[in-house]
Structure 1
């Protein structure tokens, strides 16, 4: 028999023994044992592909003319054609030496619309679904889109959302697709409960969590939205809280969120095991690095025997030792803490083992999750880049820096294996959060400008570049006005130098006696010295103008120009314009555990300033302030703080001007006006300022009784004291009162609320020690908000 006849017989046998029936539910292949023999076709014929085109069908076939194929190839070709989504029915058969592919085309999507949505915009929903205009109508894809839309609504706290679809035929094989959405009510978090906690009450632990119970204002805060990711983050927050407060054995045994469908609310429960509270036992350092002894590193240890166990101190010690060893020429140095637990006296001895570590290099830094903050803003917080030596302690330091920025709700840094055993990939997962804020401050001045109000708006991650910008405007019912503009670039010229400027302009008046106008600019740059210590250099140029229109004469009544010129106060300030040009340097020490609600740590500054680089002022000033926070009761979340401040100015020329001296008041000693304390003229009672001041303050805050702690309402009681004295301003024929070191003091109470509208504080202070000529202001209100 000829070869061609054998081929035709084989094809005929295949055609008789195999056929394919395809439908939307699947593919049914009917085959006999005779089809097991492979076959060959000469051509492919496509039927029904009017919109998709024959070539699109052929490109998805695994069967080629002149190449052997079997039923498995037919099955795979059918699957591939269905997977395109363009076809509702596919049939493949063999006719002679021709493969016949018959398809029925799906309708095309003409338009995708959303109906009923109010909480999520069309644009955001469009980004969620994969069904797109000009794409095929694919029911499986649409069903998947419905699930994606449900997840989007769950993310904003609407788990009972209902979604259906509608279609409208617009002809020519096209349809409009509408997702019909019933958003339903917000899914609330009814209760958050803890099981197994003894050292801390439920209220204290709830304040640690990201997830909050639903309240009257939860629709603004959105902190009562449940998600699995937030639940995992809450578990980690609980661990860190206990690890940092003496409980190294703490475990989260389970966490469970149960949805009550009838009430559309979640009940969340954490089961924990606290373990015993431990203190540090013996602490030591063991070094195997050549040329670096253990004694050289002991001074870097933060953990001290007898102190309460704190995981943060261990981490800081590891970082400090690693940094010191790396600086000595061992970039791969590894610091491993080894614990020696004593179960009887509940102590943990810690030995820090230091070795050279294994050689590993950073292959790349991969950043994920940042939708607003730019990659380079995150990368620059690392002390290394691609190709540098890998060091785990440097990773921890970068994580702490990223968290301190305040740009992210969460920061997670992990590592994975690179392209070779000595290569490491750093994976940074972040989640952006709002970084803008607006603020309102208000007060009342009985003697000067009356009701005072200041509004400000600021953004600390401007355009995602990490830049800070602030605009503030203030004024009173009288003629008081103030304007401020500040800008900071945190990485000037690519270095860790925060450079910026402040523009300011203000106008105030004093008892209708004189007007004071000032405007100027400050240029500044801040450089870190250590993780906790930084220094700032400033140059300030200021133009000051005094005017005495309508002022009183020396005899105390509205006078003539000559009377005004003979006024002791007017002769003092010369009724004119002045220029002040100065440089200053500030050291800032900051170990606070939180910048919003510190419970532990110190914040201290000391500044010295010299004026005399041209202009009319010649002086040297030094001033400082320190505030110490301490958690007095972890169970009651009772926070105590004490603050002290002092300053002194001396003339380096002839005399000081009024605006060269210090002024203090309600900002330092509540219960008084801003410039309400210190020397004043005897004839008009105008503030002169003083050459020396001292201040002291003590405050205790606590959660408001009978109010859930996670509501953010706290009460405060405080006592303030201060004195401002001395005068180096020439007074002419007038005299000054209050130049001696007489202390003022006040006591008071306040309410602080971390509200959805911002951090609101209201204080009432009553002066218990004051002079007759002091200006008082018993009520003070302020507010700042994130957006």
Structure 2
């Protein structure tokens, strides 16, 4: 190796080493420089006007003297936007300074609604999130536009157009204006069912809540399409079919198409009914030692051979669950196991009792209620905090809550509790209006209340959110006045006892004499079983008959033996006025011929008038057996009521009055919706102590046998009704939808036959008294029933078939309907 070469190699190595060392030092200096640049020494906030810079710095969650990463900066930007205070946020790093540039949202000065008339400002204010003195957010305003459109959709104006704009005012504030074009009301043009064979469209339309638009829709407001209502109607159809034997029923589809040209929805519901089943063999099996299945047979609601019904299965589950729990098996679980026989179309059910999981209710959470108190919802549960959790009882509580009529929707779910054996029951409700203002009118024919009538009433079914019922009403007729106040507390003393009171006053100036009644009652109703209840009450009333003016004294002024309406005796002291006989001056002529004022042609009634006012103080009780499928529009089931009233707890009356009535409904034709009704009733009253007062008798007529006048049958004196001590009645009736008439109008036809009698009196043998013996009256007729928005109205034409000569007929009658 040459010496020069070695030197060159050494020099090259030294140079290379120097280069590597220099590069390393430079890299290290670069790393140090970058590290120093990432340390935040100062945070500078720009663009704030109302908000303190310190507030922004706190929201960043970045500390001075520490490193900051891109991820931390992204999180800081997100947190600032989430406050809703800023419309724009930018964060940059300049050396050791973190620069935060923000643009504040404007503050809402005022929220204004323009163009609305169908929905009030107060309602729209509650529907939007944009509020005065809050930061304006375009995203929130856009959501409010959608919320306002939803509100209009719920009142049937789905074509409403809504937009939002802002008007700047001083101080970086804005007025937010929602411009509304309400449009026309969207109607339901047609509701059509596809796939239904067992029931016609008209019958199924009675099951659902949606209605086709008609001439009364502007009052009833039930022709408003809403997707939630359609879903609820699907469930109503399932329940209807499941309770009528169609266990395989399903809703294939439900579609609502909007015809924008006519602004009408066409709703088509396609169903698959399946086969109809009856109950097969019913049995109870238990895997829990000690449970006596034989003793549980009486709890079964499902009977072999009867039409399958999901409701009776549910009722049986509840009965068995409660019965087993009462016997000390708190965690027993009852499960129905069905076995379908497709050949015989029967469903056999085996109720299996197993030992369920030992789970307790930790707490019940109630959500969504703004008016209804929590305890009103909680008391519908048969389980409380700390009790064994039972799904059957929870579902029964859900049904009870829905039956209250306080909510549009009730849902119950569960969540894990604080321990593995604890569960939280979550109840979510959507409240609805429970107050009603009713205005009604009509014309009542027959009897002392004949003439035009009008009624106004205010009803609140959830008074102050306490679940209490309050009704105040007043009725006015050409000759009548009535005033009523009713109050009911459904859970008296924390128990399922319905306690309440009624106060009333009625005045009538029609008929042969005036009548005034003022009274009230205190009542308590207790359930004995699901179908049987008993009511006890104390009743107090004051009755006054006649008036202080007395009766006009009439005479045969022409001497022709005929007393006419214009043949009255003039008052000598005031020739323009008729001379009157009063109870205090029974012989104004001074001839000793008048025993009592001649209000009527009946001395019995006249004498009773002079003995008024009467005070009646009584105690009463009544049993009710109710298995109707609907109290409003029954088609199947029994309603039986029987009770007694004991008068004599003070007051002027002393009697025992016994009454009873039974109604049986049966769907005669499901396809044509023909409903049959059989009714039977009767009563007896007898006095103890003093004789029975004439006004304590029963006065009957068209209320038991149509075709006769009010007080049109029974004992009379000189043609004036004096009432009877006994009555019986029976009737048969069939109602049906009118052909070629939309069921949405609420009309049904009726054919009927009635029979009955009123007889017996303490005044038998007195002069002029007749009709004291039993004599059958009967009639047949037709009727037209209208379920009007003002209440059920009915027109009847009845022709008496069997009658007495002294009976008073009223073949045509019109009035408010109440047949049971």
TM-score relative to the length of structure 1:
0.89
The question of whether the paired residues in 2 share the 8 Å contact of 1:377 and 1:466 is answered with yes
Question: Partner of 2:331: helix, strand, or coil?
Answer: coil
1:690 Cα offset (Å): 0.7
1:182 Cα offset (Å): 1.1
1:704 Cα offset (Å): 1.8
Question: Partner of 1:760: helix, strand, or coil?
Answer: strand
1:753 aligns with 2:811: no
1:108 Cα offset (Å): 2.6
In 2, Cα distance between equivalents of 1:6 and 1:423:
63
For each residue in 1:51-87, what CA deviation from the matched residue of structure 2 results, as whole angstroms up to 9, or x when unmatched?
2221232122142212211122222222333333433
Question: Partner of 1:565: helix, strand, or coil?
Answer: coil
1:138 aligns with 2:168: no
The question of whether the paired residues in 2 share the 8 Å contact of 1:441 and 1:781 is answered with no
1:777 aligns with 2:800: no
Pair 1:271–1:707, CA change in 2 (3 A): same
Question: Partner of 2:124: helix, strand, or coil?
Answer: helix
2:665 corresponds to which residue? 629
Pair 1:370–1:331, CA change in 2 (3 A): same
1:168 aligns with 2:167: yes
In 1, Cα distance between equivalents of 2:753 and 2:371:
43
For each residue in 1:319-365, what CA deviation from the matched residue of structure 2 results, as whole angstroms up to 9, or x when unmatched?
11112111111122221111121111111111111233222222222
The question of whether the paired residues in 2 share the 8 Å contact of 1:11 and 1:39 is answered with no
1:783 Cα offset (Å): 5.2
Higher Cα Rg, which structure: 2
1:773 Cα offset (Å): 2.9
1:242 Cα offset (Å): 1.0
1:715 corresponds to which residue? 749
1:766 corresponds to which residue? 799
Question: Partner of 2:72: helix, strand, or coil?
Answer: helix
Pair 1:511–1:235, CA change in 2 (3 A): closer
1:53 corresponds to which residue? 52
Greater mean alpha carbon deviation, residues 655-664 or residues 571-580: 571-580
In 1, Cα distance between equivalents of 2:413 and 2:708:
52
Pair 1:526–1:734, CA change in 2 (3 A): same
1:669 aligns with 2:705: yes
2:636 corresponds to which residue? 600
In 2, Cα distance between equivalents of 1:583 and 1:171:
74
The question of whether the paired residues in 1 share the 8 Å contact of 2:106 and 2:173 is answered with yes
1:736 aligns with 2:769: yes
Greater mean alpha carbon deviation, residues 396-405 or residues 138-147: 396-405
The question of whether the paired residues in 1 share the 8 Å contact of 2:38 and 2:96 is answered with no
Superposition pairs for residues 554-569 of structure 1, below 5 Å? 560-561=587-588, 562-565=592-595, 567-569=603-605
Greater mean alpha carbon deviation, residues 143-152 or residues 668-677: 668-677
1:260 Cα offset (Å): 3.5
In 1, Cα distance between equivalents of 2:478 and 2:744:
38
For each residue in 1:14-63, what CA deviation from the matched residue of structure 2 results, as whole angstroms up to 9, or x when unmatched?
8xxxxxxxxxxxxxxxxxxxxxx982111211122122221232122142
1:666 Cα offset (Å): 2.5
1:140 Cα offset (Å): 2.4
2:85 corresponds to which residue? 86
Question: Partner of 1:627: helix, strand, or coil?
Answer: strand
2:461 corresponds to which residue? 460
Question: Partner of 1:59: helix, strand, or coil?
Answer: helix
1:391 corresponds to which residue? 390
Superposition pairs for residues 160-559 of structure 1, below 5 Å? 160-430=159-429, 431-436=431-436, 438=438, 440=440, 442-444=442-444, 448=448, 450-451=450-451, 453=453, 455-457=455-457, 458-478=459-479, 480-508=480-508, 511-512=511-512, 514-547=513-546, 549-550=550-551
For each residue in 1:499-532, what CA deviation from the matched residue of structure 2 results, as whole angstroms up to 9, or x when unmatched?
22222333446754x4443323322211111111
For each residue in 1:643-685, what CA deviation from the matched residue of structure 2 results, as whole angstroms up to 9, or x when unmatched?
1100111222231001221122222323333322211112xx3
Q: Could you tell me which of 608, 615, 621 is aligned with 2:651?
A: 615
Question: Partner of 1:318: helix, strand, or coil?
Answer: helix
Question: Partner of 1:144: helix, strand, or coil?
Answer: helix
Pair 1:765–1:85, CA change in 2 (3 A): same
1:646 aligns with 2:682: yes
2:732 corresponds to which residue? 698
The question of whether the paired residues in 2 share the 8 Å contact of 1:638 and 1:702 is answered with yes
In 2, Cα distance between equivalents of 1:237 and 1:447:
43
Pair 1:396–1:75, CA change in 2 (3 A): closer
Pair 1:652–1:385, CA change in 2 (3 A): same
1:33 corresponds to which residue? none
Question: Partner of 1:309: helix, strand, or coil?
Answer: coil
In 1, Cα distance between equivalents of 2:224 and 2:511:
53
1:142 Cα offset (Å): 2.0
Question: Partner of 1:166: helix, strand, or coil?
Answer: strand
The question of whether the paired residues in 2 share the 8 Å contact of 1:639 and 1:700 is answered with yes
In 2, Cα distance between equivalents of 1:686 and 1:341:
66
Question: Partner of 1:297: helix, strand, or coil?
Answer: helix
The question of whether the paired residues in 2 share the 8 Å contact of 1:658 and 1:689 is answered with yes
Pair 1:286–1:499, CA change in 2 (3 A): same
The question of whether the paired residues in 2 share the 8 Å contact of 1:672 and 1:776 is answered with yes
TM-score relative to the length of structure 2:
0.86
Greater mean alpha carbon deviation, residues 212-221 or residues 630-639: 212-221
In 2, Cα distance between equivalents of 1:490 and 1:476:
33
1:375 Cα offset (Å): 2.5
2:760 corresponds to which residue? 726
For each residue in 1:575-612, what CA deviation from the matched residue of structure 2 results, as whole angstroms up to 9, or x when unmatched?
34333222111111111111111111111110112222
1:660 aligns with 2:696: yes
Greater mean alpha carbon deviation, residues 221-230 or residues 452-461: 452-461
In 1, Cα distance between equivalents of 2:604 and 2:434:
54
1:185 Cα offset (Å): 1.8
1:551 Cα offset (Å): 5.9
The question of whether the paired residues in 2 share the 8 Å contact of 1:372 and 1:432 is answered with no
Unaligned runs of 5+ in 2: 1-21, 557-561, 569-580, 582-586, 597-602
The question of whether the paired residues in 1 share the 8 Å contact of 2:216 and 2:745 is answered with no
1:27 corresponds to which residue? none
The question of whether the paired residues in 2 share the 8 Å contact of 1:701 and 1:717 is answered with yes
2:17 corresponds to which residue? none
1:723 Cα offset (Å): 0.9
1:623 Cα offset (Å): 0.9
1:456 Cα offset (Å): 4.9
1:719 Cα offset (Å): 2.0
Unaligned runs of 5+ in 1: 15-36
In 2, Cα distance between equivalents of 1:160 and 1:11:
66
In 1, Cα distance between equivalents of 2:509 and 2:153:
56
Question: Partner of 2:801: helix, strand, or coil?
Answer: strand
